[in-house]
Amino acid sequence: MSQTDDQKSAGRTATVVQVRESLVLIQIDDDASVMKNEVGYVCVGDERLKAEVLRIRGRTADMQVFEDTTGVRVGDRVEMTNEMLSATLGPGLLGRVFDGLQNPLHDLAQQHGFFLPRGVSVEPLDMDQRWEFTPAVSVGQRVAPGGVLGTVPEGPVTHKILVPFGESDSVTVTWIAEGKHSLSDPIARIESAGQERDVTMMQRWPVRRPVPGSLLRRNFAQRLYPQEPLTTGTRIIDTFFPIASGGTGCIPGPFGAGKTVLQSTIARYSTVDVVLVVACGERAGEVVETITLYPETEDPRTGGTLMDRTIIICNTSSMPVAAREASIYMGVTLAEYYRQMGLSVLLIADSTSRWAQAMRETSGRMEEIPGEEAFPAYLDSSVKNVYERAGVICCPDGSQGSLTMIGTVSPAGGNFEEPVTQSTLGTVKTFLGLSYDRAYKRFYPAIDPLISWSRYLDQLAPWLGENLDADWIGDVKRLHELLQQGESINQMMQVTGEEGITLEDFITWQKSVLVDMAYLQQDAFDDVDACMPRDRQLESLRLLIRLIDRDDEFDSREEVRELFTRLIGLYKNWNYSAPGTPDYESYREQIEAIASRS
């Protein structure tokens, strides 16, 4: 005779035996069992505090509590759920702000005020909203896990309703609905292994398990090699240090170097369908700025607001450590979900340094053997596990989806040798290092071209050569060498002055300044210069190469300085001019005249 649900629940309990801030040690009841990453609720009076199992040792287990543990005492009951920490996936995610446990913050504020009580949770999605479901399969058709059952419109994207990812094999559709339905209504019935069950428009998935997971098999979703670049509209990134669509990158830099502005620009202008911003430990003021800025920012792709195709996971540095640590996994899972629909997704994690610090605090309370600077010994593998969830996949319906992941790192004092930065650099393939000196000089973006790099430059050479210019890679490498030569000459001039170098070296330095001032820098507040399409980048780069290759003869340093100062002014004004306008043509003709002069 099977147990009732109440009996099962009664057998799934444990008892608190020790409390160490956000960490509790529980004693598992004799007739119960727990699994790693299982969710449980610590009962404190009428409050139920959500927690997650981190480590199991015999009949005891360590659990991190996602809320304030004030009042938790030895002997308190813990109710186990037999479920891992999971995300709710379905229509209605876009345009919303969640915490690291996927509680919608606006709904929480409306129901409980701005000071959120602990032990309270709200459904992540609106269960009453009805969606117009259009079936994409017919009765009797076999569909793979992750395959498309139908579609519903969700803002600027077409949201595909997918066969649950947890299915072990293809399923047969025995019934399919159409018309308007809520998220809890059955929209299809599927048969697998001789058993039928209803499917709704939403499903749940453990956040610490990659969504493709068991799907990377023949006839299911398959991982592909990134072959196309992500166009950001930022010249120094697209030209010198590209990021592949479905690739990884990091933006480390000291405080005040412009990480937040740069990531906002990338989110706004990148060629992606969906944006996820995970604030996993940023200061509350910066998070509030992000939440208020996105709904007011016009989306150049859709004409609506940027928030219409954005999801924000908000966990500030003042929120509990455990919730900050879980937030990045929640964000990655939501991003993977939209990638499975064949969409291009961008995930920005800000800042992974504070996420790593949250892991360090939890590891210290668990009394684990520390690694460098007291970070856990498994820091390197944890960083790799997160970034490796990016990639390009071929979906069961033949479409391709991509998840590009960019993490910002905030090393103390701008020290790139600290463990979090080094672990990140060993994982990502694009490094956009921000310089405090360049930020102090009001250079934007403050990406230092002499310390930054991209392993995608050669990897993307076939696409760049076919779609832009066969000489693109060679020209970029030549300009990069010129910047290095210019910096060496500048360092010499700091000691000897201009008179201590040859006229030839002075010309080389002025050419490197032209590249830096006219091409690498942009104005984030100018409607035209904030984002430059790839075709205009190519036009600008070709003209710049012609200027650099000129072999002029000068009589004095003043003559050199006068020419390059004029060129920088013309180039900057050209960057500010919209294509097709009289100013655009005028400045271009003046630069062309100088480039063509023998």
Binding residues for ATP: 253-260
State how far the Cα of 165 lies from the Cα of 189, in Å rounded to an integer. 15
**Taking the alpha carbons of 433, 434, 438, 444 in that order, is the dihedral positive or negative?**
positive
Chain-centre distance for alpha carbon 476: 26
**Taking the alpha carbons of 161, 133, 202, 106 in that order, is the dihedral positive or negative?**
positive
State how far the Cα of 512 lies from the Cα of 568, in Å rounded to an integer. 11
Does residue 351 have a cis bond before it (omega within 30 degrees)?
yes
The 3 state secondary structure assigned to 58-123 is CCEEEEEECCCCCCCCCCCEEEEEEEECEEEECCCCCCCEECCCCCEHHHHHHHHCCCCCCCCCCC
Owner of token pair 């097709």:
580
Contact 435, 376 (CB under 8 A): no
Beta carbons within 10 angstroms of residue 539's beta carbon: 14
Structure tokens at 436: 């405090």
Structure tokens at 364: 């210290």
Question: Quick one: CA torsion of 99, 104, 108, 110, rounded to 10 degrees?
Answer: 140
- For β-strands 142-143 and 60-65, DSSP reports them as unpaired
State how far the Cα of 355 lies from the Cα of 328, in Å rounded to an integer. 8
Q: Which residues contact 394 (CB under 8 A, 6 or more apart)?
A: 221, 222, 224, 400
Chain-centre distance for alpha carbon 365: 29
For 344, phi and psi rounded to 5 degrees?
A: -95, 120
DSSP letters, 430-484, are EE--B-HHHHHTT-SS-B-TTT-EETHHHHTHHHHHHHT-TTHHHHHHHHHHHHH
**Taking the alpha carbons of 545, 546, 550, 554 in that order, is the dihedral positive or negative?**
negative
Q: Is 260 helix (H, G, I), strand (E, B) or coil?
A: helix
Q: Residue positions in the annotated binding site? A: 253-260
Contact 293, 260 (CB under 8 A): no
CA distances from 419 to 54, 226, 388, 424, 590 (A): 23, 28, 18, 8, 50
